[in-house]
Each structure stands twice: as C-alpha cells, then as structure tokens.
Structure 1
Amino acid sequence: MKTIDVQSFIDERPLGRFHVILFVLCFLTIVLDGLDTSAMGLIAPSLIKQWGVSEAELAPVLSAALVGIGIGAAVAAPAADRIGRRIVLACSVVFFGVFSLAAGYSTNVEELFWARLLTGIGLGAAIPNCATMMSEFLPSRMRSRAVNFMLCGFAFGGGITGPLAKWVIPTHGWQGYLIVGGVAPIIVGILLAFFLPESVRYLAASGKHQDKIAHALKRIDAGADFTNVIFVADTEVQVKKRKFSVAELFSEQLRGPTLLLWVAYICSTVTLYVLSMWLPTILQADGHKLEKMANTMMWFNWISGIGIFISGILMDKFGPLRIISGYFAICTIAALVVGVTGARGEILMALLMLVAMTNNGACSSMSTLATQMYPTSSRVTGAAWVLGVGRFGGIAGTFLGPVLLSLGWTMTAIVSWVAVPAVVASVSIILIGLKIPGLLRRYHSVPTCIPSNQQ
C-alpha cells in the first residue's frame, strides 16, 4: 500500500476549477457577513426615526449579532472539529439567512434584538469554517494570499451595502433591506451543501473515509491514480486518538499566542465597530443625507478590501506577523497625525480611509493567521474562538459609539483615539512572533508549535 499525504498532494497541484468553486462559495459567504454587519449601521437612522428610540436604546440591537457570533463560534466550531467542516458551514449559513429574514419582519426593538442575536449565531459558525476550508484545500505557497482574498468579501459586502441601501430603503424601507439579506444566505447555504466536499485534511486526520478523500482529491486532479493508497495528514494530530477541548488552546506553547491574538483582535474590532456602526449616524448629525452616508460607507469598506487584498499578497512573501504588526503601526501613525494636526475636511477623510485600510486589513488577516497557528484537530475551534472572543471588542465598540457622541466628540477626536487600540494590537502581534518563531517564515508547518507530548 502506498501512503499519500493529502497536503503534499495539494501542494504539488496547480489551482483548478474546484478551487474556483471553493473560492466563489466561501467568498459569497463572507460577502454576506459584510453586508449584514454594515446593514445595521446604515438602517440605524431609519430605525431611530421610525421607532422613536435613542442611539443608546438601539445599541443593544446593533451589538446583538456580535453576541450571537461569540455564541456561535463557541458552540458550533468545536462541532466542526468533531463532525466536519462542510455540514456545519452549510447549516450555519442557512441558519443566519433564516433569522436575517425574520429580522425584516420585526415590529419593535425586542423582536429585532432576538432576530439579530440568532443571526449572529449562524455567522459565528460560518466565518471560521470558511477560512478553514480555504486553508485546508489550498497549496501552502498561496494559502495566506487566497484566504485573505476570500476575506476581502467582507469589505466588498460592506461596500455594496451603500448602493443597495439607496436602491431598497427609499421604496421598501429598512425591512426590505433585511429581507434581501436573508434570502441570499439561504441560497448560498444550499449551494455549499451540494458543491463542497468535506475537508480532506480533516478526513485524513480522522483516519477514516478513504473513499471520500479520493473522491475529493479527484476534483483537484481527475487523472490521479489512488489504487492501493492510504491517505494521511502527515505531522497532524490524529483526531480519532484523542478528544479535543478548548483547553488545548491554553497548552504550554499555545497559551501565550492565543491570549495575545485575542487581545489584538479585540483591539481591532473595537475600532472597526465604532466606525462601521456609528459613522452613518455621525454623518447624519452633521447634516448629511442618505446618499452621502451610503457613499462614505461604500468607500470605507472598499478601501478596507484593498487593504485586505494587499496584505494577503504580502503575507505569503514576508509572513503574517510582519505584515499584520506593520498594518497596525501604520494605523497608529495615521490616527496620531489626525490628533496632532486636528485634521478636518478632505484630509480627515483621507486619513480615515487609511485607518480603515490598515485596521480592517489587519483584522481580517488575523483570521488567516489563526488558521496557521493551530493544528487540523483544533483549527476551526482555534479560529472560531479568536472570532468569538474578538467580538467582545465589537460589542464594546457598539456601546462606545453613543458614549463618545454623547460626550460631544467630533469625528477628528474619534479617529485620533484609534491610535490607542492600534498600538496595543501591534505590540501583541510582535510578541506572538517571539512565542512562535515559525510564523515569521514565508511558509510554515502549523503543527510545529504544538508540544511533542500533545502529538
């Protein structure tokens, strides 16, 4: 019997039609996440006007999905490490579509809160599974680049929020917008179930399902001969030999990197959600119309997408830690320039876009980093807990926005404040490099950071 390491097999093949299908479906899932996240910020002014509520009263609704994402990441991601990525991914996308649809029929703040909470649970399970599926089906030489290109979908989804809002809200109200955002995930979830196979690295690590592995790898190389072959996930922990728990994220060599990555992600999401959730409201307070708000959010998200796109290319060349810490350093400098100069007008908007490009680019890139820090047996759980814990920063940002507005902070003051979380995040990422030097290399083997007594 011949042994084939599935990752080596993937590394030796060029990209093909299967990879395109995988990318498109995962990209669409992330687009829907961006569409959903930006939606609440854009419809907030309409909700405040229609329901007669204040920004502070609406803040729990805006943060409900973030709480749900944390719950979904904590509950569903370990299930993906046990029963497989594909089924959890498809079901979670349909799940968040159903409750996004339900949110469109809400008649008060309480109903909308619960619908958004359940929507977030589905998102929390879907996002890390997308990153993991991409990571485990791609050649090592282009993994960071491809995963980050996929994560550009978040910015693209946020970018089309503005044009979509200008088209839907004037005629169908905020309800119509949420209904559109609910139907699309249901369709994508069905496509995921029909067109994606299970992760071959997951199947090989489990030591079972040799026929399923062969079928999936045939989609990458139809001419491959798998006669008398046993598939393995070389150097990976065999899932069937032990049970995984979240406690493994705090093993001797992973404890420090895990906590540092959480800190960096929390810092970046505080900034992301202060700006993405409350920027339209700030602009409205300054007298701007829906069109101006929509255009600003469109550019905010598209510039973020450019940052994610560039970081994906650079991470494959220089390693993830150098690029992510560098992004946060640039974000810090841009925010400090705003504070020192008291920038206003077009200069302020240009620096705001640089902050968006670097902070949001680094934020998405940390999902890529998470898929490279952990072994196959715990990869979804590790990535999901980064996502889930990091959303506490998003929750804090959602509530921080109204506080800053009530204190009379201007746009200039809010942007300059971003320097604080950005510098903390940059230092945290640098410290991860001291804990796991292998992550500084261009290509690296994920399991090298796992102590030998756990293999």
Structure 2
Amino acid sequence: MPTKETGAMTQKENIVVHNFINLQKMSSFQIRTFFLCFLILIFDGYDTVVVGYIAPALKTHFGAGHAQLAPMFGAGLFGLTIGSFLFGPVADRFGRKPTLICSVALFGLFSIASAWAGSIETLIVLRFLTGLGLGGAMPNAYTLAAEYCPDRLRATLVAPIGCGIAAGGALGGLVAPHLIGAYGWQSMLLLGGALPLALTVMLYLGLPESVRYLVAHGRQNSARHILQRIAPATDLSGVHVTLAEPMPIGSSLQHLLRPGLRGGTLLLWITAFMALLVIYFLGNWLPILIQSSGVPFRQASLMTALYLAGNGMGAILLGFLMDRFNPQYVLAVAFLCAAASLTSLGHLIETPALALTALFVTGIGTGGTMTGTNILSASFYPTVTRATGVAWTLGMGRVGSIVGSMIGAAMLAAHWSSTFMFAAVAAPVIVAALSVSALAFYRRRHPTAAIATPVDLSTQTTA
C-alpha cells in the first residue's frame, strides 16, 4: 500500500503481524525455528523419562527399595508442574527466547549435577530442580512455534513438534542398554545434560525472538528485521508493525481471568487436567493392568508400545484435522473415541486384534488430544499473555498427572479389577470432551478473545 501524506507529515504504512505471516509462503527461516523447537522437546522428553531407565541401576548402586525411589519420580513431576506455572509469566515479561535458553540450560546443568549425586536424597533435590527447567521449556517451545505459524497450518506444523517429547523418550530407550552397561547409570544423566547445553549455543545463535512479542514491547526495528527474513523480497523499510489485538493493562496472569477469556481459560484447564490425568494413569499402570488380565509380558509390552504410538501419530493426525475443521470438535470426538475404547478395553483383552485397536485409539484420544490442547491454548490467548496461557494450561495438566499417578495406586490397593479400572478412567476423558466442546460455544460467544479471528488493522495508519 502507498504511504499517505497529510501536509508535511508522512504517515507510515501499517503491517499487522498476524495478517503478514498468513499471507506469506513458509520460509526456511520459519522451518529452522520449528526445527529448533523440535530439538528442545526431544531433549526435554529424554530428560523427563531418563530416571525410569536408570531406576534399576540406582536400586543396586544405592541399595534402595521402591519406597525410597518413589519420591525421586514425584520430585521430578512436581518440578515440572512448578516450572510450567513459573516460566510462562517470565516468558511474557522477558521474552520467549531468553526464557527458553534459561530453561534448557537449567535442566541441562542439573542433569549433569545429578550424575554426581552421592545419595538418593540429593538426587531427589536435583531431579526437582531439573524438573523446573523441563517444565519451562515445553510450553514456551509450543508458544514460539505457534507464533511463527500461519493460521491455516498452525496445528499441522506444531503437532509434529510436540512429538519431540515421545521421540526423546524413545531415544533414551535406544541408548540406555548400551550406555548403562558400558559406562554406568551416570552416563545417561551426563548425556541428558550435555546435549541440552550444546543446544543452548544453537538457540542463542539461531533461535529468533517472537516477532509478536517484539511488537508488543515496542521493538519495531527488530520486528521488521525478522519479518524481512520471512519475506526477503518485500520492502519493509519505514513500515509500522502492529498487532491484531489491544494491549491489556495488568499482569499476564490477571489477563487470563479477565472477562472474555476467563471462561475459556477454565475450560482449557479442565481439559488439560483430565487429559494428563488419564495419560499418566495409563503411562504408569497400563503394563501392570494388562498383565493382571492374564496377558503374557511380551504381548503386554507390544500393547503398551501401540498405545504410545497412538500418542505420537494421533498428535499429527489431529493437528491435520484441526486446521481443516473446528478444532474443539475434532478434539471432542477424539476424546469420546478414547473413552469408548477404554470402557471396552477390559472386555477385549482376550481378543488381541481388538485390544490393540482399542489401545491405539486410546493413544490418539489421550496423548494426541493433549498436544491438540496445547495448540488450542496457543491460538486462544493474545500475544502479551500467550506464554502464560499455554504454560498455565499445561501446569494444570501437570496437576492432573500427579492425581492420575496416585489414583492408579489407590485403585490397585483397593483390589479393583482391571476391567473396572479401565471403565472408571474413561470418566475423566468424557469430562474433557464436554469441556472442549463447551469451549467451542464459548469462543462463538466471545469472538474477540480468539486470536484466530483478529481485528484487521492493516487499513489504519499511525503517525
């Protein structure tokens, strides 16, 4: 658009970040950003599950029993929860890039320190501190990646990035037999620290700050420079870059609960809480429940692996569908399919083909939908509170993960049958389906709260 002049005063052309990114083809600059976010989640996933791989060696090394090891797992999960709540507001205040670098460096350093732990008690403290960094890395990686996606491809592109968590866990499983046998359990923690620390250098050199964050904080030159890298052939000299949403007053956390966002925030929290409750229930207790139904260990392992495969493949499938249909309804249908599969699973265990299908569908409707919920939260919140919104949604989910781990033990202690336990845990999945469906109605009633429907400011001018 041409510049507009009034007398001697020249008015700058406005470019709305949201609209500008939507109009461009995907650039190598954006793809590199997505890849770096994917690497963050791979190393995050590795360090999240590494204790599970070294637990048998820890028992031998420290002479510890199950009761002594249990707090170590809980400490890491508690650290993840606190980290999610803590680092979201930090990212909205100080930027996505420095927060991500600090989070990755934090879990890398404390993972290395954990290799020299002289007691289980010291290891528990270090796992909590490692969890703080892990909890801050995931939501901010989602947030930054989503902010560089055009609306038409947001879920399609961000969903595979979320699969980095599963890829990191699988990486740990591949290297554990070789490293632990040759170099001891400490080598797993050293690798889990060295790789993230090397990544921090790559992040410092190659990861951009969120262009929307830069605009929100008045850093026009930096914002124009990044947009120029997305569209090198476009002349952006002298333009004024704007956002598609008004600037709120108050802290980012207060903004989550303002009118127009409050109901959606609560519905996202409920959805994440219920989803991660079921994910951690199944992650911790699924092999035991399957074997208690009389299934041999080898077959139980295969069934568990197929459930985990459903988590990753479900994220990609649901991401593709979320960009083409109402994303809330896509997730709701997936949740309901998972609930039906869980309810029937106890009756299908003796029919392997049906049981494997039910577990795969359950994986899509639990792990896949949690990735979808993270993407949904990134699209729901405005720029100045997006990192807090995504992080607190995931943090509420982490609270659910703690509950899910605990209720599995309580059900087993009460001698519930596996059939009844599978049916009972379908109830939270149904609640998640109802909650995310209600979010669709809420967003229709409060359309200005949804970032997917911005106010077009491209025709306005600013002196």
TM-score where L is the length of structure 2: 0.86
Q: Higher helix proportion, which one?
A: 1
1:108 aligns with 2:150: no
Equivalent residue letter for 2:229: R
Structure 1 CA distance, aligned partners of 2:219 and 2:25?
24
- SS of corresponding position for 2:241: strand
Quickly say closer, same or farther: Cα 1:193–1:415, change in 2 above 3 A: farther
Q: 1:213 aligns with which of 218, 223, 229?
A: 223
Deviations 1:210-239 (A, max 9, x none): 1111211122122221222111113x2336
CA shift for structure 1 position 52: 4.6
1:307–1:432 CA distance, 2 compared to 1 (3 A): same
Q: Please tell me whether residue 422 in structure 1 is matched to residue 429 in structure 2.
A: yes
Distance 1:430 1:4, change over 3 A: same
Matched residue, 1:203:
214
Q: Determine the C-alpha separation between the residues in 2 that align with 1:424 and 1:408.
A: 25
SS at match of 1:223: coil
Q: Could you list the runs of 5+ residues in structure 1 that have no partner in the other structure?
A: 449-455
What pairs with 1:427-446 in structure 2 (closer than 5 Å)? 427-437=434-444, 445=452
Following superposition, the deviation at residue 199 of structure 1 comes to: 0.9
Partner Cα separation in structure 1 for residue 197 and residue 423 of structure 2:
40
Distance in structure 1 (CA, Å) of the matches to 2:40 and 2:443: 31
CA displacement 1:368-409 (0-9 Å, x = unmatched): 011111111110001111111210111122333433444455
Shift of 1:78: 1.0
Q: Aligned letter for 1:227?
A: S
Alpha-carbon deviation of 1:422?
0.9
Among candidates 77, 90, 100, match of residue 88 of structure 2: 77
> Does 2:164 align with 1:156?
no
Q: In the alignment, what sits opposite 1:259?
A: 266
Instruction: Give the structure 2 partner of residue 453 of structure 1.
Output: none
| Distance (whole Å) between structure 2 residues aligned to residue 113 and residue 446 of structure 1 | 46
Shift of the 387–9 alpha-carbon distance from structure 1 to 2, 3 Å rule, reads: same
Match of 2:366 in 1: 359
Q: Deviations over 1:42-79 (max 9, x none)?
A: 43444445545444443322122222122222222112
User: Structure 2 regions of 5+ residues with no counterpart?
Assistant: 1-11, 456-463
In structure 1, C-alpha distance between the alignment counterparts of 2:24 and 2:445, rounded to whole Å: 24
Pair 287,425 (structure 1): closer, same or farther in 2 beyond 3 Å: closer
Task: Identify the residue that residue 452 of structure 1 maps to in structure 2.
Answer: none
1:131/1:220 CA distance change after superposition, 3 Å: same
Contact conserved, 2:348 with 2:354, CA < 8 A, in 1?
no
1:451 — aligned with what?
none
Identity of aligned residues (%): 34
Alignment correspondent of 2:458 = none
Structure 2 counterpart of 1:370, one-letter code: S
Which stretch has the larger CA shift, 153-162 or 378-387? 153-162
Report the aligned-residue RMSD: 2.9
The 2-side partners of 1:414 and 1:111 are apart by 36
How big is the shift at 1:21?
A: 0.7
Over alpha carbons, which structure has the higher Rg?
2
Q: Give distance in 2, aligned partners of 1:346 and 1:105.
A: 46
CA contact (8 A) 1:41 1:279 kept: no
Task: State the SS of the aligned residue for 1:436.
Answer: helix
Residue 97 (structure 1) aligned with residue 104 (structure 2): no
| Residue 246 to residue 165, structure 1, CA distance change in 2 (3 Å) | same
Instruction: Write the distance in 2 (CA, Å) between the matches of 1:346 and 1:41.
Output: 29
SS in 1 for 2:209: coil
